A = this chain, B = another copy of it.
Amino acid sequence: MRITSKELARICGVSIGTIDRALNNRGEINAETREKVLRIARDLGYRPHLVARSLKTGRTMTVGVVVFDLDNRFFAQLVNAAEHAARESRYFVYLTHSNHDLEQERDCLEHLAGLDVDGILLVPTNRGPDFVKLIRGLHAPVVTVGNRLGAGVPFVGIQDRQAMKNAVQLVFRTGYERIVYVSPPLSYKGRENIYEVEERLEGVREAAREIGIPLVVLRDKSFPDVLEDAVRRTGARTALMCSSDIYALQCLELVRAWGMQVPRDVGLIGFDDIDLLKYVRPALTTISYPIRQIATEAFALLKRLMEGQAEPPEAPLIETRIVERESL
Given A1-B139, A71-B80: 13 more A-B contacts, CB < 8 Å: A2-B113, A49-B114, A50-B114, A51-B51, A51-B115, A55-B55, A70-B79, A71-B77, A80-B97, A92-B115, A93-B95, A93-B96, A253-B279
A 126-178 contacts with B by CB, 8 A: 137, 139
A114 touches B47 (CB 8 A): yes
A residues neighboring B (CB under 8 Å): 1-2, 45, 47-52, 54-55, 60, 65, 70-71, 73, 76-77, 79-80, 83-84, 87, 92-97, 99, 110-111, 113-116, 137, 139, 249, 252-253, 276, 279-280
B51 touches A116 (CB 8 A): yes
Residue in B47, B94, B139 whose beta carbon sits within 8 Å of that of A93 in the complex? B94
In the bound complex, CA of A276 to CA of B76 (Å): 14
In the bound complex, CA of A80 to CA of B139 (Å): 28
Residues of B contacting A252 in the complex (Cβ-Cβ under 8 angstroms) = 279
Residue in B94, B249, B276 whose beta carbon sits within 8 Å of that of A92 in the complex? B94
Known contacts A83-B96, A97-B80, A276-B276; A114 and B48 CB within 8 A of each other? yes
Known contacts A45-B137, A52-B55, A54-B51; A95 and B83 CB within 8 A of each other? yes
Kindly report which residue of chain B lies nearest to residue A246, judged by CB atoms. Answer: B279
In the bound complex, CA of A264 to CA of B95 (Å): 46
B97 touches A83 (CB 8 A): yes
Residues of B contacting A45 in the complex (Cβ-Cβ under 8 angstroms) = 137
Q: How near does chain B come to A210, taking the closest CB pair, in angstroms?
A: 34
Q: How near does chain B come to A286, taking the closest CB pair, in angstroms?
A: 14
Q: How near does chain B come to A296, taking the closest CB pair, in angstroms?
A: 14
B71 touches A76 (CB 8 A): yes
Residues of B contacting A249 in the complex (Cβ-Cβ under 8 angstroms) = 279
The 10 residue pairs across chains A and B that have the minimum distance between CB atoms: A76-B76, A70-B80, A95-B95, A276-B276, A50-B114, A51-B116, A50-B115, A47-B114, A249-B279, A51-B54
Kindly report which residue of chain B lies nearest to residue A113, judged by CB atoms. Answer: B47
Residues of B contacting A115 in the complex (Cβ-Cβ under 8 angstroms) = 50-51, 92
In the bound complex, CA of A52 to CA of B56 (Å): 9
In the bound complex, CA of A77 to CA of B71 (Å): 6
Residues of B contacting A48 in the complex (Cβ-Cβ under 8 angstroms) = 114
In the bound complex, CA of A77 to CA of B96 (Å): 14
Q: How near does chain B come to A143, taking the closest CB pair, in angstroms?
A: 18
Kindly report which residue of chain B lies nearest to residue A47, judged by CB atoms. Answer: B114
B92 touches A111 (CB 8 A): yes
Known contacts A76-B76, A276-B276; A94 and B94 CB within 8 A of each other? yes
Q: How near does chain B come to A33, taking the closest CB pair, in angstroms?
A: 24
